[in-house]
Amino acid sequence: MADLELRGLCKTFGQVLAVDNLNVTAADGEFVTLLGPSGCGKSTTLNLIAGLEQPTAGDIYLGGTRITDLPPNERGIGMVFQDYALYPHMSVFDNIAFSLKLRRVVRSEIERMVGYVSQMLDIAHLLERRTAQLSGGQQQRVAVARALAKQPQIFLFDEPLSNLDAALRVRMRTEIRRLHLHLQTTSVFVTHDQEEAMTISDRIAVMRDGRLEQLDSPMEIYRRPRSIFVATFIGKPGMNVFQGQLQADEDGITFASPGLELCWKSRQEARLESSWSGEAIIGVRAEDAKLQDPGATVPEEGAFIAEVTLVEPIGSDSFVEVTRDSQRLLARVNPERQFQRGQMVQVEVPAAKLHIFDSGTDLRING
């Protein structure tokens, strides 16, 4: 079993608290991504798991064994770095075989293992080349092959796709996901790219300022973000948010913000289990906002009139920005629907699609 557990992990650099009481688990064979903006502590966390940094407090367990004080070479870890850390004076074969030679593995076994992983990653034809002669995508495959050849208990990936162009990044993240599904090796992946995290992960640990904001499946994080930070960080485009006064009781929900007032008949439909009153933030995803011609239909609850101020066709969808006074909302619509700048539209926000957060704590208050 190669389950990973971080218990109360902390790391300080002088007066800077880089990792703050972090508790994260990755089950045996699970692919977990540490996601967050630059400086949130995700790479530091990965270095702590790898043994490249020592924690100020807390413990790390791998397969039930405490590895907090073990040196990196005794942790059973294979790591792929952001810059790949390949040896440019060595051939691809020697790069992949390097750790095996250090362990004094017999030559026949080295050749067998290098041949196996190079065939798996489609780089067998490159074994005699120097890594400096390879493209970025080929170098990335060599780095993964080197980690794979060690037969580790766990893979660590530190933003390994960040140096690739956009098209190659998409292709290589698919390859990493396919490799994981084949090997079923526990993996921890670090990235600041939320689209990358959503497509590649079994679960995502969203981090902010060294702390864990939410650990859940990609779709659960997208559909039920636990904080306003997660809600706005996850999703392209980001969630529309409005701050104002919320009143929720048995008669329904009323939300009032400068230039905007919305009402819904059912508190239960919005998944609010009890009455609530106070400063709140409501959020709505771009795909959940419905645009209609004013007067074409009877206004639904949660509706308001706004002006189209921007239309962005992107092929598969169109993004339409609407404005009412100082309030702006971005809607995702079918590209076959034509909207013009200056056009007035009715915007409908269904109660069932609402995300409601307490302004004081920034935490979610509806189910």
How far is Cα 143 from Cα 111, in angstroms, rounded to an integer?
A: 17
pLDDT greater than 90 at residue 59:
yes
Rounded alpha-carbon distances, angstroms, from residue 325 to 291, 299, 322, 329, 347: 17, 20, 10, 11, 14
pLDDT greater than 70 at residue 79:
yes
**Which pLDDT band holds residue 41 (cuts at 50, 70, 90)?**
very high
Burial 79-109, CB ≥16 within 10 A → b, else e: bbbeebebeeeebbbbbbbbbbeeeeeeeee
Average pLDDT, stretch 246-252? 92
33 vs 102, which has greater pLDDT? Answer: 33
Average pLDDT, stretch 310-325? 94
Beta bridge partners of 357: 281, 364
- CA-closest candidate to residue 31, choices 161, 200, 179: 200
Q: Specify the pLDDT at position 27.
A: 97
Longest dimension (CA), the chain: 79
* Highest-pLDDT range among 64-68, 84-88, 248-252: 64-68
121 vs 321, which has greater pLDDT? Answer: 321
> What domains appear along the chain, each with residue ranges and CATH number?
4-233 (3.40.50.300), 240-358 (2.40.50.140)
Q: Specify the pLDDT at position 1.
A: 65
pLDDT greater than 70 at residue 299:
no
pLDDT greater than 90 at residue 300:
no
| pLDDT per position as a tens digit, 148-167 | 998 899 999 999 888 888 88
